Amino acid sequence: MTRIEMRARLYGDEQFPREIVELLRRMGENILTVQAAGKDNLKNPDAEVLAFTVSENRAVFTQNCRYFIRLHSLQSDHAGIHCL
């Protein structure tokens, strides 16, 4: 039997620590950052960040847990919200 390994596609928002992003990349994770996506310093509302992750089929990594948990209650169809 062939082993198939599925890795999540991740998205680090503006508050997510760069050191953790680099660690995840060294571990082979596919993580896109706000900066790499060209969306930094735009003050995007959290709802737009979540909409972007949905369109990219990525789970969002954030330190802004309170707002993303509220968004989850309004829109639970996403790849995940991971709070640090």
So what's the pLDDT on residue 5?
57
Average pLDDT estimate for 17-46: 90
Residue with tokens 């039997």: 1
Does 45 fall in a domain? yes
Per-residue pLDDT, 77: 81
- Flag whether 67 is in a domain: yes
Residue 24 lies in a domain: yes
Q: What is the pTM (predicted TM-score) of this model? A: 0.80
Is a pLDDT exceeding 60 seen at residue 3?
Answer: no
In a domain, 4, yes or no: no
Q: Is residue 13 part of a domain?
A: yes
82: which strand partners? Answer: 61
Structural domain contains residue 62: yes
Q: Is it the case that residue 29 has pLDDT exceeding 90?
A: yes
Task: Identify the pLDDT of residue 14.
Answer: 86
**Which stretches within the chain are classed as H helix?**
18-26, 46-55, 65-74
Assigned domain for 23 exists: yes
Q: Would residue 3 count as lying in a domain?
A: no
The number of folded domains in the chain is: 1
- Residue 37 belongs to what domain range? 9-83
